[in-house]
Each structure stands twice: as structure tokens, then as C-alpha cells.
Amino acid sequence: MSLQTYQLMVKQRFSQLLPGGPSRAMAVSGLLLLLFYVFSFNYWSSQDHSDLHLPFAHKWRAWSSGGTNTDPPTNLSHIVFGIVGSLKTWKGRKAYLESWWRPNISRGYLFLDGRPDNESLCPYTCPQILINEDIRKWKIYPLLKYPVSVRVAWSIVEAFRQGDNDVRWYVIADDDTVLFMDNIVQVLSKYDHTKYYYLGASSESILSNVYMSFEMGFGGAGFALSYPLVVAMAKKLDGCIKRYPNMWSDHLIYICILDLGVAISRQKGFHQIDLHDNIAGFLSSHPQSPILSLHHINVVDPIFPSMNRSESISHLMKPAGVDQSRLLQQTICYQREKNWSISVSWGYSVHIYETAVPRYVLQMPIETFRPWIKNAKWPMFMFNTRPAKNDPCETPHWFFFESIESENKDVFVTTYTRAEKRRLSPCSLGRNHSADRINRVQVFSPVKTRLEAGRAECCDVVSLSDNTTTVRIRPCMEAEEIAIV
């Protein structure tokens, strides 16, 4: 029914019912129409229109499709990486960035505070190098307590101002951070990029979170910002810096995002690595979530024996280049005849214990590392740990990743070799079945990625030779009993 027809019907009906004739009816009908418009407007405005803050292209896409996001799945081309470094340290960190960057495929920028010399440039193996805006020209500069922190935060705006097309996410990290791009794509594809999202993770050390914030994404580990959120930050960040001139970079970014009404969406896998010494215990019991980043790799010990830091990272990227979804994911199985427990951290390490150790124990990292802040008191970490001991029943035989190859079109073989002799007597609880003679572990895993398998993975110990243990990873059966029996 048209609006004109409706008005005519109202006039006729009220001219019949009300005294005063057509003029009285017209006045009443006008009043009713006014009330109709008021109530209709109030109803419409009371609905959730969270997409109104989006760029016009996003709003049109949502409305024209009936409110359903019909975008194709997020892929690497939809992400811009903003890597922040310093001229003083860049030359020693270049190898870390080169280990994961994909020239002519990934998009992003390396922000430095000055132009590096030709020797430290990497025109083909790194992101485009941009020099940060000189914030010393800002009027507020004398009031800034941490100018370097403001430069880091402002890099987000400078990355946005490059004007890249078809961007859904900005991922920000430091130049001493290794990123795992396939896993990042997989994680970001789960979120609606047309809404405000701030994805990040806390520090591993409790005191780091106490000094900064438990609700903050640590920037060294890296965090991801959806495109609409970065649009809003580009408009508001300068005003936020003026409100909080005394804040450190990660905390400043967190507070500015919070002022926009956006809280963090916690995402496991971003690793600040606020730890010292040997992090092999941490990496060998990685949480059951895709690894997204490793920060502070220039501070901790090399993650592989007999290699330096850059060699270690390049070595880790070999299995990462084959299947990042399975990298560092822990799979546990038991050899009943020997009473052994075997823990596989795919692409990194294998542990053999000479007794049956419960899964809940094996999933706790061995404390081979120290907290970030010296003299920290217990509790020190944001996760449960178990102490490193010399007890032959609680100390594993360590094997580290050596190589990966394809056995056939369906199976990959990763080989792990012993780091050093354990130099302990056999475990009496394990019926004295020593694993000292084992020098190599071979792990057979499906070519189909962990994501494609669509279910949890289990493993079987399929053979024991004189010096080699063979393990096969497979999808867990439905309702499979995986407890120790």
C-alpha cells in the first residue's frame, strides 16, 4: 500500500468517526502520521548498526548481500606487515627477518629511524624500508617521556598511509621477531575483518604483565589490527599521544585502542618470550595452538645445539616451510613393552622417558629457562612448569630436528638426532629398559596438514631397532582411549 493511499484512507475513516468534519480528520490523521514516523525512526535507530563505522566499500558489501559477508577467505595478500626496527641494531637482526619474509609475495614495510648503509640493506629479501617521520618536529615532543615508543606506535599510522589496496589486517612486530605467516593467515581468517579487532597475547612472565598490563598485547610478540580499527587509529592516534605522553609503546597502543572502545581478543601463539637462557623446554611443550611468532630470539640461547641464533632460526624454518600448522605441536604416545613415554614436538624435538609419564605432566614445559626479570619469586610464569631434574625417571633423552623429506606423496619423514648422552642410570620404575642406545628418532606424519585432518592427532611407536625409534603420527580414532593404562 502506498503512502498516499494510506493517507486517503485515514482521512476518510476519521471524517466518518469524528465530529468536526474533514478538517478535524485531517489534523488527527497528520498527528497519527507524525507518531508513525517517530516510532518507526526510534525502532530503526535502536537496532544494532555496528557496521556504520566501516568504510563505505565494506558497508555497501554487507547491505547489498543482505548483511552476509561474501568476501573470499583471507589470504596472505590481504595482510600488511609493519616491522619496526632501529638503525643501531638492524644489521645484526636482518637475518631473522630474511628467514620468514617472502619476497614478491608478502606485503609490508620495515620502519627504521635512519637510512642504513648499503651493506645492511636487503632490497630483495626484506620488506620495503621506510624511514619514520621525525617526531622531534612535533610540538609535543619535549613532553614525551619515551620518544622511541611514540615512533613505534606511529608506525601503524605510517603503514596505513602507504595506501595499500584490499587490506584486511595489519600485523605489527619487532625486527627481532620471527613470524609464521601461514599460521597467521589461518588464524586471521577466523575473524570478521570488517569489524574492530585487536589480537594479541600477554607475556610469559608474570612480572612483565604486572609492570605493563595483563590486558595488553605485547608488541614484540606481534599483534594484529583489523583494517577498520587502523582507520580509526589513523584519525585518533595523535590526540591519544597528547593525552598520554608518558606511556611506553605497547602500553600506549593498548590504551589508545581501549579509548576507541576495543578490548583485546586474546590469541595464543604470539610469543613475547620474556624468558632467558634455554627455551627448549618451552618449545618442546608448546600449547595446542598454531605458533604465530617468536620474539627475543636475539636474547635467548640458540634453539638448536651446535648452531648460532640465525642458523637455528633458518633450521626451524625448514619444517615450517612444509607444514606450519603442525610445527611445534605436541603428540604423545607410549611404548608398552619398554614402558617408555615419547613426546614429539613436530619439527623441533622428541623426548623419550624411560617410564610411563602422564600426559598432563608431559604437557607442562620443563623449566630449562629463567624468567625475564631477575630475582623474580614464585609464581614466575603464566603457565605451569615442571623443574629440570637429574632423576632418571623424570629426565628425558633429548633429540632435536635434523631433516625433513618426503617418503611418498602421502607421508613426510622428520628425523631427530640425540643432542648428547643423558649420563644417568636407567629408570628402575621403567623396568630398567634404557634408551641410551637410541641415537635417532624418525617420525612419519601425513602430508595432509593438521588443519586438513580436522581432528586431534595421536601417534604409535611402530618399531625399535638397535639405534632408531620410529613413530607414526595419525588422526586419533573416535573416542580413542589415550590415557596411560
The 10s digit of each residue's pLDDT in 435-460 is 999 999 999 999 877 766 566 788 99
Given this model, what pLDDT does residue 2 score?
A: 45
Weakest-pLDDT range from 25-29, 186-190, 442-446: 25-29
Domain 323-475: which CATH number of 3.30.465.10, 1.10.10.10, 3.40.50.410, 2.70.130.10: 2.70.130.10
Strand partners, 111: 84, 130
pTM, rounded to two decimals: 0.84
Spatial distance between the Cα atoms of 142 and 136, rounded to a whole number of angstroms: 8
Given this model, what pLDDT does residue 119 score?
A: 75
Q: Is 148 exposed, middle or buried (0-12, 13-18, 19+ CB in 10 A)?
A: middle
> Is the pLDDT assigned to residue 485 strictly greater than 70?
no
Question: How large is the C-alpha radius of gyration of the chain?
Answer: 29
61, 66, 68, 70: CA torsion to nearest 10 = -50
The overall average pLDDT reported for the chain is 85
Weakest-pLDDT range from 50-59, 97-106, 251-260, 440-449: 50-59
Cell of 392: 632418571
DSSP state of 205: B
For residue 4, the surrounding DSSP H or E stretch is helix 3-17
222: left (phi over 0), alpha (psi -120 to 50) or beta: left
* Angle at CA of residue 324, ends 323 and 329, nearest 5°: 100
Spatial distance between the Cα atoms of 221 and 293, rounded to a whole number of angstroms: 6
Percent of the chain with pLDDT over 70: 83
Weakest-pLDDT range from 20-34, 209-223, 399-413: 20-34
Cell of 187: 588464524
452, 454, 458, 463: CA torsion to nearest 10 = -30
Measured in whole angstroms, the distance separating CA 52 from the mean position of its chain's CA atoms is: 28
Q: Which amino acid is at 241?
A: I
Provide the residue ranges of all domains of the chain, joining segments of one domain with +.
76-266, 323-475
Cis peptide before 371 (omega within 30 of 0): no
Q: Does domain 76-266 sit in CATH 3.30.1360.200?
A: no
Q: Do 323-475 and 76-266 have the same topology in CATH?
A: no
For residue 419, the surrounding DSSP H or E stretch is none
The 10s digit of each residue's pLDDT in 306-341 is 999 999 999 999 999 999 999 999 999 999 889 999
Spatial distance between the Cα atoms of 342 and 352, rounded to a whole number of angstroms: 5
387-426 burial, b if ≥16 CB within 10 A, otherwise e? eeeeebbbbbbbbbbeebeeeeeeebebbbebeeebebeb
The 10s digit of each residue's pLDDT in 202-229 is 999 999 999 999 999 999 999 999 999 9
Given this model, what pLDDT does residue 61 score?
A: 36
122: left (phi over 0), alpha (psi -120 to 50) or beta: beta
Confidence of residue 267 (pLDDT cuts 50, 70, 90): very high
Which DSSP string do the residues of 308-351 spell out, in sequence order? -HHHHHHHHHHHHTT-GGGTT-EEEEEETTTTEEEEEETTTEEE
